[in-house]
Amino acid sequence: MEYWEIKTGEPNELGIDGGLSKRDRIGQWITPFINVSSADQYTSKIEAGGGRIIQPKTAIPGIGYTLLFKDTESNTIGLFEENKDAK
């Protein structure tokens, strides 16, 4: 898979970093991820605002947690919580 990391600043600075990969097919969409301090805290906020969790909090061992949700306009968005203790 072709994959490129996108860095927007120095490693110790906050920024909107990410990655980009070549599409496998025409019409494939992107899923933006938002870095949060606690995925659990945002789950209740998403649901209270009318969003729907479509992939519950999932561990990426040694890296952190992700979850996916649909907003009120059916856009898929991801959350990422950095946590090196994730199992």
- Domain ranges (residues) in the chain: 26-82
Q: What pTM does this model have? A: 0.73
| 64 DSSP β-pair partners | 60, 82
Q: What is the mean pLDDT of each run of 10 residues along the chain (87 residues)?
A: 77 76 78 92 96 96 92 94 93
Phi, psi of 46 (to 5 degrees): -60, -50
How far is 54 from 61, CA to CA, in rounded Å? Answer: 20
User: Which residues make Cβ contacts (< 8 Å) with residue 8, sequence separation at least 6?
Assistant: 15, 16, 17
Q: How far is CA 32 from the centre of its chain?
A: 6
CA nearest 44: which of 76, 19, 79? 79
Take residue 2 and report the two structure tokens written for it: 């072709």
Tell me the CATH number of domain 26-82, given options 3.30.2020.30, 3.10.180.10, 3.40.50.1010, 3.40.720.10: 3.10.180.10
What pLDDT, on the 0 to 100 scale, is given for residue 1?
58
